[in-house]
Amino acid sequence: VPLLMACGSRLSDDEEWLRVAVAEYIEEETGHQEWILNDIAAAGGDKEAVRHSRPARSTELMVAYAYDTIHRVNPLGFFGMVQVLEGTSIAVADKAAEAIQQRLGLPNKAFSYLKSHGALDIEHVDFFKGLMNRIERPDDQQQIIHSARCFYQLYGDIFRE
């Protein structure tokens, strides 16, 4: 949500239509961290310790790249991250949840986020596709593609770490 807010704040006046869409994303994504923290608690973890901990280095680097792109390069580059997160969620969320649950023997209630998010993100991808089809400036299009390629690597680093 803070990244979405940063992106929306940096959009130009002629991108107001996109700012409205970012506001919809913000409303949709607000509170998801609590859902994840509750799943951590259901799995036996300390959600407050997680809430106040530092992220893994790969996660911190991906978030830092997102802020840097928004503030220094082009706020539309953030949509490269949206493409990676929403697109991969559809493909891997349910499978990842099943594999983790079976391997660790965790209860269903520890996977409320992952097991429901893949299906939810199908709608998000359709919404996202409609937005990206309205981006007409070649420089913006190339920035989104470049950022998506970078985010794929950074996101992969999170799993490798």
User: Is 76 in contact with 145 (CB distance < 8 Å)?
Assistant: no
* pLDDT for 120: 61
Query: What pLDDT, on a 0 to 100 scale, did the predictor assign at position 86?
Result: 85
Q: Is the pTM higher than 0.85?
A: yes
pLDDT along the chain (161 residues), means of 10: 98 96 93 94 97 97 98 98 86 82 92 74 80 97 98 94 94
DSSP state of 56: P
Per-residue model confidence (pLDDT) at position 119: 59
Phi-psi region of 157 (alpha: psi -120 to 50; beta: other; left: phi over 0): alpha
Burial class (CB within 10 angstroms; exposed 0-12, middle 13-18, buried 19+) of 69:
buried
CATH of 2-160, one of 1.20.910.10, 3.40.50.300, 3.40.50.1220, 1.10.240.10: 1.20.910.10
